[in-house]
Chain A
Amino acid sequence: MSDYPTLLQTSVATTALKVLLWPAYKSTDFEVHRNWLALTHSLPFQQWYYENTSEWTLDYPPFFAYFEWTLSQAAKYIDPRMLEVANLGYASWNTIFFQRSTVIVTEFVLVFALWLFVKSSPAKEKRQAHAAALSILLSPGLLIIDHIHFQYNGFLYGILILSIVLARKKSGLLVSGLLFAALLCLKHIYLYLAPAYFVYLLRAYCLGSKSIFDIQWLNCVKLGLGIGVVAGLAFGPFVYMGQMEQLLSRLFPFSRGLCHAYWAPNVWALYSLCDRVLIYAAPYLKLALNHEAVNSVTRGLVGDTAFAILPNITPRMTFILTLAAQIPALIKLFLHPTWHTFTSTLTLCAYASFLFGWHVHEKAILLVLIPFSLLALTDRRYLGAFRPLAVAGHVSLFPLLFTVMEGPIKVVYTIIWLVVMLVGFDGLAPASPRPRVFLLDRFTLLYIAVAIPLMLYCSLVHQLVFGANYEFLPLMFVSTYSAIGVVGSWLGFLVVFFTS
């Protein structure tokens, strides 16, 4: 058995590193969460979704607010000043110590979920499962986003994995569904995965395994009631107080632009790149130019993105595209409701929403990366599709950290992870029963090779050559490069998924 290092050993060692990262750079998300701690602690619950002293208003669903409230019960013993709503930007050492340590402690949900994942996998896949679990536990994405930038993804993805693992057995389906419902009430970004859950629970839990007309009424009632209870706990009080409209406007702010501050590496990043390139080509091609858009200062940085040549994109279009990209996989899931197909479909749903969604944040790449990690070692073809994603996904997170001290940490940690995991995975992934896609393999190799000069350019060369000018250039390179990787791995995964 080569189940070493164990998950516990690994989490001890990484916890050491995470504690050492306490004084590191933290983004505004740190203040966001401090503000939520303060407002849930010191305001009556009717005002939670109306409070706007800080610009970082509460825009997560109620369970997360309850979670913050729970944390605030401990926080008052550490430093009561952090719990004052008006105390904007407060970051005493004790506040940092407290908030950073809650991230580390709540992450043990993830460790437990991964342990269960390894335990529940069949004996002949144990080693692969263990490697996948380690890769998630050590993920540079979680390190960068949670332990430096500051968020609670380890905890949230822990619940997601727990729910996915429970779905392995027929007996766990109900709990899995309820956990996912609870997860939605913690952070609504997981709505992107909901179609896969819906189809899977419908087919595997509510309908008979032999025929779709054999409706399992009892299961339907159990699931319906359960979800009702979860939703009632979360939203019930707010419905009762008549605050639902306000709550929803906080959760779904559609006034935001198509692309987020840093371009998330998705189709729209490539789309706006084309637009930029076409501006220079327009006089030759005799295309009509939208001059307002050319001179727009924001240029996809904040707020609205206007395109100079290509047609503008509306939220409705992104919604339709996302759904269209999800449907084929959902149909396959409906026809073959196995756990493996389910997890693959989850991954594809995440891909679709990441690639085509409105105002996608680069951090959302974890939504694709983490479910895919569970599958990457299925066989060599899956691994082939996973590789560019592993590189692109993490490289695309680099612009999140721009301070000098943290630069080496993100780069070196990611390189270690990539080398260890890709070398390790290579030895563990079994051969595929089907021939590999030759082109994809070569693409992957070339793609990974390009990452090295790119990282060098963005972290060093650009600054030496241009100083502070053309700041958007490295960002654009990173997002274009990553977008190619994500799209490539998506196409690769589609081929693998629909041919196996």
Chain B
Amino acid sequence: MAPSTPSSHRPRKKRIGEPITSNGTVTTDPSTKQDKPAFPLAAFFWPAKGTGLSQWILLPIILMIVFLFRWTTAMWPYSGMQKPPMHGDFEAQRHWMELTIHLPVSHWYFHNLDWWGLDYPPLTAYHSWVLGQIGWLVEPNWFELYLSRGLDDAGLKVFMRATVVVSEYLVYVPAAVFCVRQLAKLHNINNWESSIALTALLMQPATLIVDHGHFQYNTVMLGLTLATIASMLAGRPLWSCVFFVGALGFKQMALFYAPAVAAYLAGVCLFPRIQPLRFFGLAIVTLASFAVLVLPLILGTAYDAYRNVPLPSDAALPPLLTMIPFDLSEKAWYYPYVVQLAQAVHRIFPFSRGLFEDKVANIWCAVHCSGIHKLHQYDSALLSRAALALTLTSIVPPCALLLFFPKREVILPTFAATAWGFFLCSYQVHEKNVLLPLLPMTLLLAREGGMKPAIRAWVGYANILACWTMFPLLKRDELRIPYFVLTGLWAYLLGLPPLNISAYMISGGDGGLHIPSKAIHIGTYIAMVAWHFGEAFVPPPENKPDIWVVANVCVGAAGFGLCYLWCLWQAVQVSGLLGRKTEVVKKMQ
């Protein structure tokens, strides 16, 4: 614990209970013995330090400042802008809006898969429906089924960008504020420091650039996850079930967290004593949430059944139905609903796709692309089983830890480690999925000592490396400049390379990193900078056109592997697993 800030110059009259913490935001200048901000982001909050500035002023200002960066990023191109024939994620989202507002509900999951068919869970469909209705009011030409394909109207861009910002400010931002507050309460952190952590979280470059640059609605799912974590921290496990079902219902990728969520919820039912009532409560609330989630879909199908709206002519029966051992009567009253749900599941989980998509910095792609071992010689069933086994191996340690030590302090690192395990080892991973492990890991900044050089350096390392692995994607979207600006700015604000190395100037004894970690970090940063120069100026050899992307994937996968281990180690440290051992040792002595 660093020496707490001297309070001589502060007025004593403060709100009662405002703790004086040093989360690593303040250091002492060795020559003048005066406090100074440990990194530039803390410097920007310096004028508010110790003034007891109302949250009613500070919070809106933070939210407005992060809005500016979102909205200016939104001015840049989006994925697939003016890129026929398929365009990109922007077109997919626009298409879902027109699809949901123009087609009967029972057609949503059956409509033409080839042109960005709906393959996200129902909450996304409802979200698209709401946005589509609003957009239809604003300008019907933007959402004419079939006719508006690939539209790149300037007004449409503004509208779509605004929907991302509004969705984020309705879900992610309140959840982040709530979550950071819960962490502050748990670790006794003052307002000033948790505001800094909140800003760092909201300025996270990877999330910002994927949602507002590339174009997606990840923050809705991530926001619901934040709300899940916050409810767990607040001791409201029932609410966490509701929010997590929401997250899953918005984007199936939230499954990355599912084992950790399940482990924690099971853990609180089992330890310190078995509470069957709580367990039933959780089960009922979860089931009820799922029921509410699919209810609009069911009601819509009922309405269509009542109107005798047939399924599209090209609709094939979902394979799930053909796999069940008993026959379903087409005349049964429940038949349309079963078909709908089975089709939705079929769309959401496409088991037939490959092991990894594009080039992603996980183990499989690194092993395959680097030429260590070519994987396409194996049967895909075997590969998927191997992926499953490896994923299980990687997530069992963090989940077991959370199950046996269901403490609130353990939640963040185990969530991060589980998500890293999924990202590195599982099937069908996308480079943008790195946002999932990043979220709980970045939240560590809001924890006790979270902004001390050691944790700050690791959190920053993961974030910057993650942005870097997405560079090939962002380059395709013509988002190079926002990438450099947002990543560079965030790194600078947190005192991290390449623009600032203050976090690495502190020795291991004073809350900094130890020499080996420093060497790894600095080495990776040098590799990333060198890679950028190489990628920009050195054309790849003819027989290896992908050499730069492959290099990116390999370095990324190695770095993420370290992040996984570090998160696991953090979890072990805070769980008390080792603490008890040392106690035992002490007793024996």
Interface residues of B in 430-460 (CB under 8 A from A): none
| Nearest 3 interchain pairs by C-beta | A4-B46, A20-B72, A4-B43
Task: Verify if B492 is at the interface (C-beta below 8 Å from A).
Answer: yes
Please, how many angstroms separate the alpha-carbon atoms of A265 and B171 in the complex?
A: 41
- B residues with a Cβ closer than 8 A to A are 34, 36-37, 40, 43-44, 46-47, 49, 51, 53, 57, 60-61, 64-65, 67-69, 71-76, 155, 158, 481-482, 485-486, 488-489, 492-493, 499
B47 touches A424 (CB 8 A): yes
B493 touches A20 (CB 8 A): no
Chain A residue numbers with a CB within 8 Å of B76 are 20, 23
Number of residues in A with C-beta < 8 Å to the partner? 30
B69 touches A17 (CB 8 A): yes
User: Interface readout for A406-441 with B: 1 if CB under 8 Å, 0 if not?
Assistant: 001100110110011001100100000000000000
Interface centre among A6, A405, A427 (most CB of B within 10 A): A405
A20 touches B47 (CB 8 A): no
- Give A103 Cβ to nearest chain B Cβ, in Å: 15
Task: Verify if A43 is at the interface (C-beta below 8 Å from B).
Answer: no
Interface residues of A in 23-56 (CB under 8 A from B): 23-24
B75 touches A9 (CB 8 A): no
Please, how many angstroms separate the alpha-carbon atoms of A381 and B34 in the complex?
A: 33
- Give A407 Cβ to nearest chain B Cβ, in Å: 10
**Quick one: closest B residue to A19, CB to CB?**
B485
- Give A157 Cβ to nearest chain B Cβ, in Å: 22
B75 touches A13 (CB 8 A): no
Please, how many angstroms separate the alpha-carbon atoms of A20 and B70 in the complex?
A: 10
A404 touches B158 (CB 8 A): yes
B57 touches A9 (CB 8 A): no
Mostly helix, strand, loop or mixed at chain A's interface? helix
Partner of A5, one of B40, B64, B72, B499: B40
- A residues with a Cβ closer than 8 A to B are 1-2, 4-6, 9-10, 12-13, 16-17, 19-24, 404-405, 408-409, 412-413, 415-416, 419-420, 423-424, 427
Chain A residue numbers with a CB within 8 Å of B60 are 419
Please, how many angstroms separate the alpha-carbon atoms of A2 and B155 in the complex?
A: 45
- Give A4 Cβ to nearest chain B Cβ, in Å: 4
In the complex with contacts A404-B158, A420-B61, A427-B51, A13-B489 CB distance below 8 A: yes
Chain B residue numbers with a CB within 8 Å of A409 are 68, 71-72
In the complex with contacts A12-B492, A13-B489, A19-B485, A2-B46 CB distance below 8 A: yes
B64 touches A1 (CB 8 A): no
Partner of A416, one of B36, B53, B61, B75: B61
**Quick one: closest A residue to B49, CB to CB?**
A2
**Quick one: closest B residue to A413, CB to CB?**
B68
Please, how many angstroms separate the alpha-carbon atoms of A9 and B47 in the complex?
A: 14
In the complex with contacts A20-B73, A21-B75, A416-B64 CB distance below 8 A: yes
Chain B residue numbers with a CB within 8 Å of A13 are 40, 44, 489, 492-493
A22 touches B47 (CB 8 A): no
Please, how many angstroms separate the alpha-carbon atoms of A22 and B486 in the complex?
A: 14
Chain B residue numbers with a CB within 8 Å of A17 are 68-69, 72
Chain A residue numbers with a CB within 8 Å of B37 are 4
Please, how many angstroms separate the alpha-carbon atoms of A24 and B68 in the complex?
A: 13
* 26 A-B pairs whose Cβ atoms sit less than 8 Å apart in the complex: A1-B34, A4-B36, A4-B37, A4-B43, A5-B40, A5-B43, A9-B43, A12-B489, A13-B40, A13-B44, A13-B493, A16-B485, A16-B486, A16-B488, A17-B68, A19-B481, A20-B69, A20-B72, A22-B481, A408-B67, A409-B71, A412-B67, A412-B68, A412-B71, A423-B53, A424-B47
**Quick one: closest A residue to B40, CB to CB?**
A9
Chain A residue numbers with a CB within 8 Å of B75 are 20-21, 23-24, 405
Chain B residue numbers with a CB within 8 Å of A415 are 64
B72 touches A419 (CB 8 A): no
- Give B575 Cβ to nearest chain A Cβ, in Å: 37
**Quick one: closest A residue to B62, CB to CB?**
A416
Partner of B44, one of A5, A20, A427: A5
- Give B546 Cβ to nearest chain A Cβ, in Å: 26
In the complex with contacts A21-B75, A23-B76, A16-B489 CB distance below 8 A: yes
**Quick one: closest B residue to A23, CB to CB?**
B75
**Quick one: closest A residue to B42, CB to CB?**
A4
Please, how many angstroms separate the alpha-carbon atoms of A405 and B162 in the complex?
A: 9
Chain A residue numbers with a CB within 8 Å of B482 are 20
Please, how many angstroms separate the alpha-carbon atoms of A405 and B60 in the complex?
A: 21
Please, how many angstroms separate the alpha-carbon atoms of A23 and B44 in the complex?
A: 27
Partner of B47, one of A4, A21, A405: A4
Chain A residue numbers with a CB within 8 Å of B36 are 4
- Give B116 Cβ to nearest chain A Cβ, in Å: 25
A24 touches B72 (CB 8 A): yes
Please, how many angstroms separate the alpha-carbon atoms of A1 and B43 in the complex?
A: 12
Given known contacts A12-B489, A20-B481, A416-B68, what 12 new A-B pairs fall within 8 Å (CB)?
A2-B47, A2-B49, A16-B489, A20-B482, A405-B71, A405-B158, A412-B67, A416-B61, A416-B64, A416-B65, A419-B61, A420-B61
- Give B446 Cβ to nearest chain A Cβ, in Å: 21
Please, how many angstroms separate the alpha-carbon atoms of A417 and B69 in the complex?
A: 15
Chain B residue numbers with a CB within 8 Å of A2 are 46-47, 49
- Give A418 Cβ to nearest chain B Cβ, in Å: 11
Chain B residue numbers with a CB within 8 Å of A20 are 69, 72-73, 75-76, 481-482, 485-486
B72 touches A21 (CB 8 A): yes
**Quick one: closest B residue to A420, CB to CB?**
B61
Please, how many angstroms separate the alpha-carbon atoms of A6 and B49 in the complex?
A: 15
Chain A residue numbers with a CB within 8 Å of B46 are 2, 4-5
Chain B residue numbers with a CB within 8 Å of A4 are 36-37, 43-44, 46-47
Partner of B57, one of A12, A408, A419: A419
Chain B residue numbers with a CB within 8 Å of A405 are 71, 74-75, 158
Interface centre among A20, A22, A408, A424 (most CB of B within 10 A): A20
Chain B residue numbers with a CB within 8 Å of A420 are 61
- Give B134 Cβ to nearest chain A Cβ, in Å: 15
Chain B residue numbers with a CB within 8 Å of A16 are 69, 485-486, 488-489
- Give B450 Cβ to nearest chain A Cβ, in Å: 21
Please, how many angstroms separate the alpha-carbon atoms of A286 and B36 in the complex?
A: 71
Please, how many angstroms separate the alpha-carbon atoms of A1 and B32 in the complex?
A: 11
Please, how many angstroms separate the alpha-carbon atoms of A4 and B47 in the complex?
A: 7
**Quick one: closest B residue to A416, CB to CB?**
B64
- Give B137 Cβ to nearest chain A Cβ, in Å: 12
Please, how many angstroms separate the alpha-carbon atoms of A405 and B486 in the complex?
A: 19
Chain B residue numbers with a CB within 8 Å of A21 are 72, 75
Chain A residue numbers with a CB within 8 Å of B73 are 20
Chain B residue numbers with a CB within 8 Å of A413 are 68
- Give A455 Cβ to nearest chain B Cβ, in Å: 14
A12 touches B158 (CB 8 A): no
**Quick one: closest A residue to B72, CB to CB?**
A20
- Give A39 Cβ to nearest chain B Cβ, in Å: 29
Chain B residue numbers with a CB within 8 Å of A10 are 44
Please, how many angstroms separate the alpha-carbon atoms of A20 and B158 in the complex?
A: 16
**Quick one: closest B residue to A412, CB to CB?**
B64
Please, how many angstroms separate the alpha-carbon atoms of A405 and B159 in the complex?
A: 10
Chain A residue numbers with a CB within 8 Å of B74 are 405
Chain B residue numbers with a CB within 8 Å of A404 are 155, 158
Please, how many angstroms separate the alpha-carbon atoms of A5 and B499 in the complex?
A: 17
- Give A402 Cβ to nearest chain B Cβ, in Å: 14
- Give A393 Cβ to nearest chain B Cβ, in Å: 20
**Quick one: closest A residue to B155, CB to CB?**
A404
Chain A residue numbers with a CB within 8 Å of B57 are 419, 423
Interface centre among A4, A12, A409 (most CB of B within 10 A): A4
**Quick one: closest B residue to A16, CB to CB?**
B489
Please, how many angstroms separate the alpha-carbon atoms of A413 and B70 in the complex?
A: 13
Please, how many angstroms separate the alpha-carbon atoms of A291 and B47 in the complex?
A: 59
- Give B64 Cβ to nearest chain A Cβ, in Å: 5
Please, how many angstroms separate the alpha-carbon atoms of A233 and B69 in the complex?
A: 44
Chain A residue numbers with a CB within 8 Å of B65 are 416
Please, how many angstroms separate the alpha-carbon atoms of A408 and B68 in the complex?
A: 8
Chain A residue numbers with a CB within 8 Å of B488 are 16
- Give A89 Cβ to nearest chain B Cβ, in Å: 18
Chain A residue numbers with a CB within 8 Å of B44 are 4-5, 9-10, 13
